[in-house]
């Protein structure tokens, strides 16, 4: 069975701290996507990772992909309240299909 | 600012009624996806179109759900008859097949079936 697992599922952190969200997947894939979803809103594309070793950074967020380990990470640096949201990773299969992770609900406390 | 649009944004209906949700993909995109999001199941793929052709609807309950793309600017998802367990947020996403295959999501339709 194809699985995409994220951990932690819930993360409460203080402003200014660093943390990493992990996305493990059970199938071969060389494309992985990260999305952000605010409560009651749609999914917003954050990063597209297209190859082994890919690293992308935007502001306080940095995503990386290790296709051999079947692992992607989303690192948060010096968290701020505005980063509070649910973060999803999605693994692309050889065709068109995404398999979405369970999501990580992040709450940044002032 | 190109975006996927969906209508209606909210829909409350009674069990047994027909529900139609509409999606306008981003101009120039040739793939359209319908997803359903619930707390219990997360994001589930219901249907996939490429160049307006339905290539995968294996995620849909066939007896009550149908998806069509009558033209390149309109995709529809219909539920008939609706049931309380269909209550969820339905997202449409569009993309370009052959590039990064990145999907861009619409705002969603929040459906409540009483």
Classified as helix, coil or strand, A81 is helix
- Residues 6 or more apart whose CB falls under 8 angstroms from that of A96 comprise B31, B48, B50, B55, B56, B97, B101
**Partner residue facing B91 (CB), from A42, A92, A103:** A42
Provide the sign of the torsion angle of the four alpha carbons B73, B11, B90, B9, taken in this order: positive
The string of pLDDT tens digits covering residues B37-79 is 999 889 999 999 999 999 988 889 889 999 999 999 999 999 9
Q: Give percent of chain A above pLDDT 90.
A: 80
The string of pLDDT tens digits covering residues A44-93 is 999 999 888 899 999 999 999 999 999 999 999 999 999 999 999 999 88
Joined tokens for residue B15: 């069990």
The string of pLDDT tens digits covering residues A7-23 is 999 999 999 999 999 99
Classified as helix, coil or strand, B86 is helix
Q: Are the Cβ atoms of B102 and A33 closer than 8 angstroms?
A: yes
**Partner residue facing A97 (CB), from B45, B105, B107:** B45
Interface list for chain A against chain B, based on CB atoms closer than 8 Å:
31, 33, 35, 41-45, 48, 50, 88, 92, 96-98, 100, 102-103
- A16's enclosing H/E stretch is none
Q: Give percent of chain A above pLDDT 70.
A: 98
Q: What is the dihedral of CA A6, A25, B92, A45, to 10 degrees?
A: 70
In contact, A4 and A91? CB cutoff 8 Å:
yes
């Amino acid at each position: 069975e194809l699985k995409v697992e994220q951990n932690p599922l819930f993360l409460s952190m203080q402003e200014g701290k660093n943390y990493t969200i992990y996305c493990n997947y059970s199938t071969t894939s060389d494309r992985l996507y990260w999305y952000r979803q605010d409560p009651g809103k749609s999914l917003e594309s954050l990063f597209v990772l297209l190859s082994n070793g890919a690293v992308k950074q935007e502001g306080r967020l940095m995503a990386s992909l290790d296709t051999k380990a079947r692992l992607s990470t989303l690192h948060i640096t010096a968290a701020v309240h505005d980063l509070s949201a649910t973060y999803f990773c999605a693994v692309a299969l050889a065709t068109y299909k995404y398999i979405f992770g369970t999501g990580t609900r992040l709450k940044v406390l002032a | 600012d190109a975006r996927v649009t969906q209508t209606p944004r909210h829909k409350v209906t009674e069990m047994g009624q027909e529900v139609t949700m509409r999606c306008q993909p981003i101009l120039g995109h040739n793939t359209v996806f319908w997803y359903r999001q619930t707390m219990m199941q997360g994001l589930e793929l219901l249907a996939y179109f490429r160049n307006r052709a339905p290539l995968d609807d294996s995620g849909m309950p066939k007896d009550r759900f149908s998806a069509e793309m009558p033209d390149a600017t309109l995709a529809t998802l219909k539920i008939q008859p609706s049931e309380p367990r269909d209550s969820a947020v339905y997202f449409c996403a569009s993309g370009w097949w052959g590039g990064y295959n990145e999907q861009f999501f619409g705002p969603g339709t929040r459906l409540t079936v009483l």
